[in-house]
Chain A
């Protein structure tokens, strides 16, 4: 059952917005004809292969490529020595804290191999098999070093250091350490807050590193010319981002590179960073031929970013009548081999759904011998929420209050301060909680070994820079081009917004994703920003086109442009004093484009702000098998404030997808390392993602509280939904068994072990 709950009188009725047309990219995808990153083949193209470290931690003493270069069919061999050195400085957003000294070392190792799978060198040859053979001929002399995998062990004073001279930022007087950074956010008086509490509960938690598990491995083709210009075709969440990163790593000009987005088979944050593009471009530059480079599934697991695992402590104080008076967390996040975990996000999100007057969040960004962590759907927030939401549930039980009622009593609203500093500016949390509370399943009776768990999740959502162009074709059809790779159905959403704005039928609008040379700069498809920010660009470009169409109509009628208005897809006289003219349709105006001034084309670039945050509340019913520890999800209900659903099916899909990924994170997924620091489960057989038979139909409640800052009320919907499942499931297991699970994944052996504790 899917419910759409309209809760605001300001929700307008639309002709196209809110409908569910068939996806415009559906036919090529279901017929297998869509071109993904590994599908492109250029004339003369050769094949690349990356040689990767077999060690978790080793100094690279020598790389001898001579035998590989001598192999017949090999066209190029590259190492880090072929890339320019980068300055050591942290630039850009704090969370990613890009330091290109680190980035270039992740793309091709220099002094050390810092994790199993770390790229050491790459070759390009006339066939994939020769490239593989050549890679094996590269001789690397290693000095194997002690390694460290676990975050707590990495923080120990005697831990092997990945960077011997790295001094933690934010810790005055600290010695070199694997701690890259310490952060602290606080508000109110934490001690006074806990002193007011009748019940104080604290608990330690651990979560495993999990991969985004996109179905399509990283892949690209690069074609570099002798004059330094080049083209790249790649599967990513942002071709402008890939262009900028590749240019920086190569020491090239951004303007010399053109990047065309392939269809993308999932990203979830993991395709906002580059691994292959600079290497493929380097090989192509050296070989003088186009080069395709793609990862195997094993390489995806070993060498592309999972999200952080963590070690956490959370403490919450609550009064007998259910007022949360204080919260405190310490979050230690694995960054992987280079600094830059999403621990700051976790600090800022952990308490944000609630009005808690006294709170503190301390975060540590810690390197260890794992692949560098990459963004994963609301990066960091699900991890912190697992700890805090679990403790809130324990508080609810301790005072005998329904866990949803406790959250409703403490829910944040407009004007509630946040630990980040600013006050909340948007509504929607309370409405979402109440919608979930009113779901009939919430009061359904449970059977033996069954439990129900509740949890919430918060995510900032993104805005920022996006571009769009609008072109009116001679027959009155419209082309809308944007720079946002389509991951979640954005082409349909862009077409819906353009059709609604212009007043034409949806099937008259075609939306495409344009390359970096054909549309203005657009930030990544990530942060739940595309429908909000790129949608705003589309609406702005369409409105500009309407203004131009009114001018053209004025020219045809020989009246002032101010005398023309736009209604229902037609230019009309503004009043009877303008004249008695028959309204002109888009099609009629398109036919007169040449006579009235030439092609009707507009563009818009926006820096969209005032995005509303995402908030999701969920409950889960499950059954625990006491013999095996296996958990079966019986019912899962997700409510989310979606602002206004442009294409409700896609919104539901985002909510269901986030929940299913959260179920996998909760119950099965984990990076398993052996004593040598090598990954033991680098494949989908041993890294257990949920499949369709593992989950019930996820029931969605779309709560529509429009964002007034968007023309159609859009709020980002892609991320907040992955934040609650881990805690919701842990709480349900506790209700079913009496055992509080504090370590992820809650796999059958771990649940069984908890049950056997008595």
Chain B
């Protein structure tokens, strides 16, 4: 279980724009920086879009898309559009 990759998921709209419609990926990383690096290797420039346009839910917990967020083994890492409140 300790080496289980994280399941990285994008919304349909995001995947249509940036990942040729593919919504799910498996990535091995300890933190979000690692996830972003791995995705950027597959789709150059994608990390910048993720940082600027998304909020991330790691196992359902919402965070800003910051490098330091730890990614537990086997976690679901779901990138969703950023939300602004009132």
Name which residue of chain B comes closest to A237, CB basis.
Answer: B86
C-alpha spacing A178/B13, complex, angstroms: 21
1/0 per residue A218-242: CB within 8 Å of B? Answer: 0000000000000000000000000
Q: Are A272 and B76 in contact (CB under 8 A)?
A: no
In angstroms, Cα B78 to Cα A460, docked, is: 15
Task: Determine if A378 and B86 form an interchain contact, defined as CB atoms under 8 angstroms apart.
Answer: yes
- A337 and B11 CA atoms in complex are apart in Å by 28
Is B9 in contact with A527, judged by CB distance below 8 angstroms?
Answer: no
Say whether, besides A376-B86, A526-B86, A610 and B81 are in contact (CB < 8 Å): no
Q: Confirm or deny: B41 has a beta carbon within 8 angstroms of a beta carbon on chain A.
A: no
Contact partners of A464 in chain B: CB under 8 A: 64
Count of chain A to chain B residue pairs whose CB atoms are closer than 8 Å in the complex: 110
Measured in the bound complex, the distance between the Cα atoms of B86 and A269 in whole Å is 4
Asked whether B61 lies within 8 Å of A425 as measured between CB atoms, the reply is: yes
In the complex where A421-B11, A422-B57, A422-B76 touch, is A609 in contact with B64 (Cβ < 8 A)? Answer: yes
The answer on a CB contact under 8 Å between A421 and B13 is: no
Q: Mark A187-214, 1 if CB is under 8 A from B, else 0.
A: 0000000000000000000000000100
0/1 string, B1-19, CB within 8 A of A gives 1:
0000000010111000000
Residues of A within 8 A of B53 (CB): 92-94
Question: For residue A344, which residue of chain B has the nearest CB?
Answer: B81
In the bound complex, how far is the Cα of B13 from the Cα of A162, in angstroms?
Answer: 26
Alpha-carbon distance A376/B57, docked complex (angstroms):
24
Give the residue of B68, B80, B86 whose beta carbon is less than 8 angstroms from that of A422.
B80
Which residues of chain B have C-beta atoms less than 8 A from A711's C-beta? none
Alpha-carbon distance A423/B83, docked complex (angstroms): 16
Give the contacting residue for A719; candidates B62, B82, B86; CB below 8 A: B86
Residues 373 to 424 of chain A near chain B (Cβ within 8 Å): 375-379, 414-415, 420-424
| B86 near A379: Cβ-Cβ < 8 Å | yes
Interface residues of A in 73-102 (CB under 8 A from B): 91-96
How far in angstroms is the closest Cβ of chain A from B16? 9
Q: Is there contact, CB below 8 Å, between B85 and A719?
A: yes
Let me know if B60 and A423 touch, CB within 8 A: yes
Q: Which of A91, A270, A463, A529 contacts B52 (CB 8 A)?
A: A91
Is B69 on the interface with A (CB-CB < 8 A)? yes
Rounded to whole angstroms, the CA-CA distance of A94 and B57 in the bound complex is 16
Q: Is A709 located at the chain interface by the 8 A CB criterion?
A: yes
Contact with A along B56-85 (1 / 0, CB 8 A): 010111111010110000001010111111
Cβ of A426: which chain B residues have Cβ within 8 Å of it?
60
Please give me the residue from chain B that is nearest to A186 by CB atom: B12
Q: Is the CB of A609 within 8 A of B84?
A: no
Nearest opposing residue in chain A for B81, CB measure: A94
Instruction: Output the least CB separation between A192 and chain B (Å).
Output: 18
Using Cβ atoms and an 8 Å threshold, which residues of chain B touch A186? 12
Residues 516-531 of A, flagged 1 when their CB comes within 8 A of B and 0 if not, give: 0000000000111100
Q: Which B-chain residue is minimally distant from A459 (CB atoms)?
A: B85
Q: Which residue of A lies closest to B85 (CB)?
A: A527
Contact residues of A between 154 and 196, Cβ < 8 Å to B: 170, 183-186
Inter-subunit contact A268/B52 (CB<8 Å)? no
CA distance A425 to B77 in the complex (A): 13
- Least CB distance from A531 to B in Å reads 13
Chain A residues within an 8 Å CB radius of B82: 92-95
Size of A's binding interface in residues, CB under 8 A: 50
A185 to B11 CA separation, bound complex (whole angstroms): 8
CB pair B85 A526 closer than 8 Å: yes
Most chain A CB inside 10 Å of its own CB: which residue of B12, B61, B63: B61
- The A contact surface, by secondary structure, is loop
Inter-subunit contact A422/B64 (CB<8 Å): no
Most buried by A among B13, B59, B60, B80: B60
Judge whether A607 and B86 touch: CB under 8 Å. Answer: no
Partner of B13, one of A96, A170, A348, A709: A170
Q: Would you call B66 and A607 a contact (CB within 8 A)? A: yes
List the A side residues contacting B85 at CB < 8 Å: 269, 375, 378-379, 459-462, 526-529, 719
Which residue of A is nearest B11, CB measured?
A421
Chain B residues in 8 Å Cβ range of A461? 85
Q: How far is the CB of B54 from chain A (nearest CB, A)?
A: 8
A616 contacts B by Cβ under 8 Å:
no
Contact A93 B83 (CB under 8 A): yes
Number of interface residues of B (CB under 8 A): 25
Contact, CB under 8 Å: B69 / A609: yes
Q: Is A611 an interface residue (CB 8 A)?
A: yes
Is A420 touching B60 in the complex (CB atoms < 8 A)?
Answer: no
A421-B78, A422-B57 known; A95-B13 Cβ under 8 A: no
Contacts of B9 in A (CB 8 A): 421
**What is the chain A residue whose CB lies nearest that of B82?**
A93
B64–A463 touching, CB < 8 Å: yes
Query: Quick one: which of B13, B59, B62, B66 contacts A460, CB cutoff 8 A?
Result: B62
Which residues of chain B are near A348, meaning CB under 8 Å? 80, 83
User: Which B residues lie within 8 Å of A268 (CB)?
Assistant: 86
Between B9, B53, B64, B81, the greatest number of chain A beta carbons within 10 A of the residue's beta carbon is seen for B81
A463 touches B83 (CB 8 A): no
- The yes or no answer to A345 lying at the interface (CB within 8 A) is yes
Q: Smallest Cβ distance from B77 to chain A, in angstroms? A: 9
Determine which of A170, A421, A527 lies in contact with B86 in the assembled complex, contact meaning CB atoms within 8 Å: A527
In the bound complex, do residue B66 and residue A95 qualify as a contact, i.e. CB atoms below 8 Å apart? no
The residue in A415, A422, A465, A528 that gathers the most chain B C-beta atoms within 10 A of its C-beta is A422
In the complex, residue of chain A having the shortest beta-carbon distance to the beta carbon of B16:
A170
With a CB–CB cut-off of 8 A, which chain B residues contact A609? 61-64, 66, 69
Chain A contacts with B in 497-529, Cβ cutoff 8 A: 526-529
Expressed in whole angstroms, the Cα–Cα distance for A272 and B86 within the complex equals: 8
What 1/0 flags go to A51-87 for Cβ under 8 Å of B? 0000000000000000000000000000000000000
A414 and chain B: residue at smallest CB distance:
B60
| Neighbouring A residues of B60 by C-beta, 8 Å | 414-415, 422-426
B residues less than 8 Å from A460 (CB atoms) = 62, 83, 85
Q: Are A462 and B61 in contact (CB under 8 A)?
A: no
Residues in chain B near residue A375, CB distance under 8 A: 84-86
A610 to B56, CA, bound (A): 10
B28 → chain A, closest Cβ, in Å?
20
CB proximity of B45 to chain A, nearest CB, Å: 15
Closest B residue to A345 using CB positions: B83
Min CB–CB distance B57 → chain A (angstroms) = 3
Contact in complex: B80, A93 (CB < 8 Å) = no
Assembly CA distance A423 to B13 (angstroms): 18
Instruction: Decide yes or no: A377 and B80 within 8 Å by CB, A170-B13, A425-B59 being known contacts.
Output: no
| Cα-based distance from A93 to B68 in the complex (angstroms) | 20
Tell me the nearest residue of chain A to B23, going by C-beta: A421
Give the Cβ gap from B48 to chain A, nearest Cβ, in Å.
11
Interface mask (A598-636 → B, CB under 8 Å = 1, otherwise 0) = 000000000101110000000000000000000000000
Are the CB atoms of B61 and A95 closer together than 8 Å? Answer: no
For the complex, what is the distance from the CA of A426 to the CA of B60, rounded to whole Å? 8
Interface residues of B (CB under 8 A from A): 9, 11-13, 52-53, 57, 59-64, 66, 68-69, 76, 78, 80-86
Q: 16 A-B pairs, CB-CB below 8 angstroms? A: A93-B84, A272-B86, A378-B85, A420-B11, A421-B78, A421-B80, A422-B80, A423-B59, A423-B76, A425-B60, A462-B85, A463-B62, A465-B64, A607-B63, A607-B64, A609-B61
Q: Which 4 A-B pairs have CB atoms at the shortest separation, nearest pair first?
A: A527-B85, A269-B86, A609-B63, A425-B60
Extra pairs beyond A420-B57, A422-B62, A527-B84 (15, CB < 8 Å): A93-B83, A95-B81, A95-B82, A268-B86, A272-B84, A420-B80, A421-B9, A422-B57, A425-B60, A425-B62, A462-B83, A607-B63, A609-B63, A709-B61, A719-B86
